[in-house]
Structure 1
Amino acid sequence: MAKCNLCFRQCNIADGSFGFCEVRTCKNGSVISDNYGKLTSIALDPIEKKPLNRFFPGSMILSVGSYGCNLRCPFCQNYHISWGDEVASFKRKATYVSPAELVRVAEEQKASGNIGVAFTYNEPLISYEYVLDTAKLLKEKGLKTVLVTNGMADVETVRELFDYIDAMNIDLKGFTDHYYEDILLGNRKMVMEFIKEAVKHCHVELTTLVIPNENDSDEEMDELSSWIASLDKNIPLHISRFFPRFHMTYKEATPVDTIYHLKSIAEKHLTYVYTGNC
């Protein structure tokens, strides 16, 4: 039995069992990442797709994903590899790629405009050891490391990462404890603490997916954007439109007018506000 300190859950994991994320496991009394180096997806994407609009715009980045997540967003667009019923099959299909091999592929793709590696698609912080080992090698080669993350990780547990990450897009999914705890099964305070630390070390952009009647009030967007501005008014915020999917097909897509209205509220506090999926 061992305790995982990665996120607020502090899972006590028996040998051979898994924590809530279904990735952190216990082996010989120590917590390890079961999906270390096991990739389910790889693609060369525009950096703007992460989305990162103000970090080497116009460039490409080698994007990789594994499986597992420590949130349970009912609207997840990558549920096949995050926490849906199909994750088990993707576990079996995952291909092991060592940090050195991934860096070699990233170097090969420089000819296609690649600037580094983005860890994305599922939640990369639940296998931060692999991210860290790869990022160290990428830095030696002059390549960039990007995280696309929900930010729900203990700052002290992953602190060494901050020295090697060049940019992050972090989901700030809402700005109420009810939304984080009851809808996502997460912890807003932990995400906020992670963001506060991240902005001290690397380029950070934030994303909020707006869901009708859940996190779309004027008051919530005002509070969310005001808090971001208290860190730095130049932190870019992406306000994205929701489409029904996974376990949330009963809701209508977010009206485009709502996204632009909330953008106008956020712009009272922030310099850079972008709309997504409109």
Structure 2
Amino acid sequence: MKEAMLYEKLQDDKVRCAVCSHRCTISEGKRGICSVRENREGTLYALNYGRAIAVHVDPIEKKPLYHFMPGTSTYSFATVGCNFRCQWCQNWEISQASKPNRPIAGALISPEEHVQRALEYGCPSISYTYSEPTIFVEYALDTMKLAREKGLKNTWHTNGYMTKETLDAIVPYLDAANVDFKGPDDTVYEKYCGGKSGPVMESLKYLYKAGVHLEITTLIVPGVNDQKQQLQTIAKFIANELGKDVPWHISRFFPAWKMPDAPVTPLETLEMARKAGEEEGLLYIYLGNVF
């Protein structure tokens, strides 16, 4: 446990968290939406600091990052918790494990230990992934700074729902990011994820402008964001607001968590998305979760 960064003390021992775009106002003894940040007597604490719930060595392409250090392995870790509740989450066992007010699970591993392990395993990078790194930003940032000192690269796989304040803090140490982007549709985000699209688009523009290597993943879910116009809008945003050189990973949905009976995304839908990207001039389009 560690005092959280980026929060404001309010009256009556309340606090307002500024790490993600929910900007939760949290009463004494309560937690934010992520359920890993708790107000204790007017001080906000990151309960998940130093508690790793998942640690693996992965191909960098699994993040997925296809244009950043291809062919290398990346040391990856996460804590429990997430600021979203995406109904199709494949890692819900860890992303939702702290909700609503459950104990914070995880092995005690320090930032120094993570960096040392990455070096021992011969990994040239560390990835903050599996759950949402924004909600363990204190833990991630301490690790990122040490990793940079040792010549390691830092990558995030994120939903992009962080604040500008968080981006300001991490970008000096962030080399690459893959951002999940469901599309510029508040209805999709509000109904299925518990957020809005605007902050994600602002994060994408910030990262691209800052020179962080950026790739985008869109999971196409039948009945959610699979209409031709929706896919064209996503492709147009990438091409016009970011750059045609930003890789777009179009990922196939398989039933998971609260959508066990939803159909698998037809290959025809993925091809429709690919065509939309090609029509907008995107240079790098990849289909994911297909053989």
TM over 0.5: yes
d(CA) in 2 for partners of 1:257, 1:84 = 35
Structure 2: tracts of 5 or more residues without a match: 1-13
User: Measured at CA, do residues 131 and 218 of structure 1 come closer, stay the same or move farther in structure 2, by a change above 3 Å?
Assistant: same
**Aligned pair partner of 1:220 in 219, 230, 246:** 230
User: Measured at CA, do residues 87 and 20 of structure 1 come closer, stay the same or move farther in structure 2, by a change above 3 Å?
Assistant: closer
- 1:85 is displaced (CA, Å) by 8.1
| Matched residue SS, 2:203 | helix
Matched, 1:149 2:155: no
d(CA) in 2 for partners of 1:263, 1:41 = 33
8 A Cα contact 1:147 1:167, kept in partner: yes
Q: Which residue of 2 aligns with 1:4?
A: 17
Q: What TM-score do the two structures reach when normalised by structure 2?
A: 0.90
Q: Which residue of 2 aligns with 1:207?
A: 217
Structure 2 matches for 1:26-37, cutoff 5 A? 26-37=39-50
d(CA) in 2 for partners of 1:255, 1:228 = 23
- 1:117 is displaced (CA, Å) by 0.8
Aligned residues: 274
CA offset digits 1:170-200 (Å, max 9, x no partner): 0002231110112211110001111111112
Moved over 3 A (4+): 84-90
- 1:28 is displaced (CA, Å) by 4.1
| C-alpha RMSD over aligned residues | 1.7
Q: What is the percent sequence identity of the aligned residues?
A: 40
Q: Higher mean Cα deviation, 54-63 or 94-103?
A: 94-103
Matched, 1:139 2:148: yes
| Matched residue SS, 2:141 | helix
d(CA) in 2 for partners of 1:226, 1:135 = 33
| Matched residue SS, 2:237 | helix
**Aligned pair partner of 2:183 in 174, 177, 201:** 174
User: Measured at CA, do residues 75 and 223 of structure 1 come closer, stay the same or move farther in structure 2, by a change above 3 Å?
Assistant: same
User: Measured at CA, do residues 61 and 175 of structure 1 come closer, stay the same or move farther in structure 2, by a change above 3 Å?
Assistant: same
Q: Which residue of 2 aligns with 1:104?
A: 116
Structure 2 matches for 1:13-28, cutoff 5 A? 13-28=26-41
Return the letter of the residue paired with 1:213.
G
**Aligned pair partner of 2:243 in 229, 232, 241:** 232
Structure 1: tracts of 5 or more residues without a match: none
Structure 2 matches for 1:176-191, cutoff 5 A? 176-191=185-200
